[in-house]
Structure 1
């Protein structure tokens, strides 16, 4: 049983990524996804990372909210392009 609090820092740790505030911001900035690419199929994830993200969303557990937040952040450029001010 995972007892780690689901938040962005712990999600990055769970994914084996650097989890400092600046590290997370840089990762999101450098890994923007086109609108048609699902977070779970992005080219930069390993199989293990992809599986964790997909299972979190599928099971709709507490991690699903944080994975969805990451998904939104990774698509922020595509959202702005689709909805210009």
Structure 2
């Protein structure tokens, strides 16, 4: 049984990015606002691995989807 709880912090770590709250706030501030016409996986600031991970999380409605959606909302507002 998978007992690992995902969070925004662990999403960032999964993406190979620093996952502290302050690091996440800095990332969002640096990349906001994300244009409405750009889907999150197609944002220019991801490398190929990161974009693929985000795309697969969305397509497969994985355990990460909630956190990917939260990040998307944070980048747009």
> Given the two structures, how large is their TM-score scaled by the length of structure 2?
0.91
Partner residue, 1:67: 68
Cα displacement (A) at 1:31: 0.6
Instruction: Say if 1:8 and 1:66, in contact at 8 Å, map to a contact too.
Output: yes
Cα displacement (A) at 1:6: 1.5
Q: Any stretches of 5+ residues in structure 2 without a counterpart?
A: none
The 5-angstrom pairing of residues 1-85 of structure 1 reads 4-32=4-32, 33-76=34-77
- Structure 1 stretches of 4+ with a deviation exceeding 4 A read none
Distance 1:50 1:36 in 2: 16
Secondary structure of the residue aligned to 1:57 is helix
How many residue pairs were aligned? Answer: 75
C-alpha RMSD of the superposition = 1.3
Q: What whole-Å deviation, never above 9, does each CA across 1:17-53 have from its counterpart, x for those lacking one?
A: 0111110001011111111111110001000000000
